Amino acid sequence: MATLTARLYNLTEGVRIALDALRANRVRAGLTILGVAVGVFAVVGISAAVHGINESVARDFESAGPTTFFVSRFPISFEACDDSGETCRWLRNPSITMPELEALRRLPSVEQAGARMDWSVAAKFRDKTLKSVGVEAYTGNWGSLSAPDIQPGGRAFTEMEARSGARVAVLSTITAERLFGEGDPVGREVQLNGSPFTVIGVYKDNSSFLSGGSRPKAVIPILTLNRTLNVRLWDMGLAVKPRPGVSTAEAVDEVEAAMRGMRRLRPVDPANWAILTQDKLMSTYNQIFGTMFLVMIALSAVGLLVGGVGVVAIMMISVTERTREIGVRKALGATRATILFQFLVEAVTLTGVGAFVGLLGGWGLAAIVRAATPIQASVPPLAILAAIGASVVTGVAFGMVPAARAARLDPVEALRFE
Amino acid sequence: MTDDELARVRNKEIGFVFQTFNLLPRASALANVELPLVYAGVPAAERKERAMEALTRVQLGERVHHKPNELSGGQRQRVAIARALVNRPSILLADEPTGNLDSTTSEEIMRVFEELADQGQTVIMVTHEPDIAAHARRVVVLKDGVVSSDEPKAVFQARIAQGGKAH
């Protein structure tokens, strides 16, 4: 009871005194706050960005289905290529062809396989032009492979339309809005690179910014891309969905074997195509963000260390300056524990102000990122807790030495101190 | 005794009054007087009530929200006395309480101590000045750390009046 009352009082008083001390020692306090703020800012800012990216990437995975994997001409690579022919052998990979797709479709472990190729065109409706619209060209089973979110009143193209290379297009909501405003685009005719296409539907693009989710897009049959827009299908990629009950690994094995057979590769030859499973995608992704996470930890550790040293300096000065006050408090009945607690509260207040500044900064950064980029950055509640926790731990750890010195002072000596 | 036991004795049994007042500069008079109660664990409402009561006892009921630097020397020492009193200690120890005050203010402060003594409060005071010592009921004279006389007020006063030295 006695200690609780004293602690509560010490808490409010300690915070007030610490804020006073802060005003009195602007430079030192500024440095301390800056250090802690940088530490907290690093944690909050980066985790807000990662949080935003995570959410949108999770959406990408969701829309594809968990076992679906991708066969593409080129691997995802960060290799630096030169002209020697020794590096980046994959540059010589042949295109994936329609007959190959047909063969894969017939494999027993495969439920469905579809092709996709991305392109970019100019779209025009009456006097409105969009210079760059991302075209995603698919085979007829687009609708069942990636389950697009088609708005009421519209539809995806049919297998028939796909096989005949019909000039039909499904616009993303962004494209529809920019070309038609409030009007209903379904049934209207748009020009894609000068060729007329009938709009048969509008879909909501749920892909992440990594997959160009913020870009205006149009979906057309892949044959139409080839025939009407005269685009050679040099970079066609396949999405393969295994049958229910078949694991991704089994289906991948079967696809690999079939591809080797079709391309007449000897067992010693490396595969001249790339397979990307969601597991692999996920681990690549985790690698990148693992690095970001380490950078974040390092930055915040340095910041908190600088802040911690500042806390020691300020608190040491504070204890020396207030030796007499400590003597008086002890004369009036303060115990070691109350004095210790009082100075720890002051130290934590210092770091707490830093944490507050850092949180505001991180939050501001998240807001800027949200406004300026398609990343839906938001500060996760856990990061706020971590930031507050880190600042409290820093305050207590670095404030302990000065606080213990204050608590150990002999009251008679302290009262005599000039 | 352990450190905490000593702290308890300082808190409950002894009230200290210093020559240089030793008030906390950033705290109001009321907050200064409340401090021993804080360390005693008295709840906020009762704390305030008892602190006000102590301040009224030293005739400082009105200036309770002023900071020490807004008070005169005499007023500061009254705050210090109220602070020493607030936990109803057995003994009030005063170390040259008038050493930093002019003679008029010193007289005022001594009247406060006299009133307290009349109400039954034990006051032990250290001073160099015979006319301040003359307020005490019993005067013990220390010379170079050794007791040189120990007499009731009347005897001491008579000796001073005859021009005798205090020690």
Per mean pLDDT, which range of A9-18, A268-277, A399-408, B70-79 is the poorest?
A9-18
Question: What mean pLDDT is predicted for residues B41-63?
Answer: 89
Q: Using CA atoms, how far apart are residues A165 and A142, in angstroms rounded to an integer? A: 14
Q: Using CA atoms, how far apart are residues B148 and B157, in angstroms rounded to an integer? A: 16
Instruction: Identify the helix (H) or strand (E) that includes residue A220.
Output: strand A217-221
Of A87 and B94, the one with more pLDDT: B94
Per mean pLDDT, which range of A88-97, A130-139, A393-402 is the poorest?
A88-97
Least CB–CB distance from A334: residue in B18, B26, B39: B39
Per mean pLDDT, which range of A10-14, A21-25, A162-166 is the poorest?
A21-25
pLDDT value for A365: 84
pLDDT value for B17: 94
Question: What mean pLDDT is predicted for residues B35-52?
Answer: 90
Quickly state the pLDDT bin for A376 (edges 50, 70, 90): confident
Contact: A5, B43; criterion CB under 8 Å:
yes
pLDDT per residue as tens digits for the range A218-267: 999 999 999 999 999 888 899 898 998 888 889 999 999 999 999 999 98
Mean pLDDT, chain A, as a whole number? 85
Residues of chain A with C-beta less than 8 angstroms from the C-beta of B83: 332
pLDDT value for B113: 92
Q: Using CA atoms, how far apart are residues B116 and B92, in angstroms rounded to an integer? A: 10
User: What residue spans define the domains of chain A?
Assistant: 2-60+282-416, 94-272
Q: Residue written as tokens 């006695």?
A: A2
Question: What mean pLDDT is predicted for residues A313-337?
Answer: 90
pLDDT value for A11: 77
pLDDT value for A209: 60
Q: What pairing do the DSSP bridges indicate for beta strands A217-221 and B91-95?
A: unpaired
Question: What mean pLDDT is predicted for residues B65-84?
Answer: 93
Q: What pairing do the DSSP bridges indicate for beta strands A274-276 and A237-242?
A: unpaired
CA distance B3 to chain A (A): 7
Question: What mean pLDDT is predicted for residues A169-182?
Answer: 91
pLDDT value for A60: 65
Other C-beta atoms within 10 Å of B75: how many?
Answer: 20
The ipTM, to two decimals, is 0.90
pLDDT at residue A46 tops 70 = yes
pLDDT value for A279: 82
Question: What mean pLDDT is predicted for residues A197-208?
Answer: 85
Contact: B35, A332; criterion CB under 8 Å:
yes
pLDDT value for A78: 67
Question: What mean pLDDT is predicted for residues A353-371?
Answer: 86
Determine what percent of chain A is predicted with pLDDT higher than 70.
92
Determine what percent of chain A is predicted with pLDDT higher than 90.
33
Residues of chain B with C-beta less than 8 angstroms from the C-beta of A338: 39
The domains of chain B, with CATH numbers, are 3-136 (3.40.50.300)
Q: Tokens standing for A29?
A: 């306090």
pLDDT at residue A39 tops 60 = yes
pLDDT per residue as tens digits for the range A104-152: 999 999 998 999 998 999 999 988 899 999 999 999 888 777 778 888 8
Taking alpha carbons only, the member of B101, B82, B97 closest to residue B29 is B82
Of A403 and A214, the one with more pLDDT: A403
Amino acid at A258: A
The secondary structure of chain A in percent helix, strand, coil, rounded to multiples of 5, reads: 60, 15, 25
pLDDT at residue A16 tops 80 = no
Taking alpha carbons only, the member of A329, A333, A318 closest to residue A405 is A318
pLDDT value for A385: 86
| Cα end-to-end distance, chain A, whole Å | 35
Contact: A332, B4; criterion CB under 8 Å:
no
pLDDT at residue A84 tops 80 = no
- Cβ-Cβ contacts under 8 Å for A377 (sequence gap 6 or more): A48, A49, A51, A52, A365, A366, A369, A370
Q: Residues in chain B whose beta carbon is closer than 8 A to a beta carbon of chain A?
A: 3-4, 7-8, 10-12, 16, 18, 22, 24, 26, 35-36, 38-44, 83, 87
Taking alpha carbons only, the member of A136, A157, A145, A137 closest to residue A114 is A145
Q: What Cα–Cα distance (Å) separates residue A338 from each residue in A5, A214, A343?
A: 10, 57, 9
pLDDT value for A262: 93
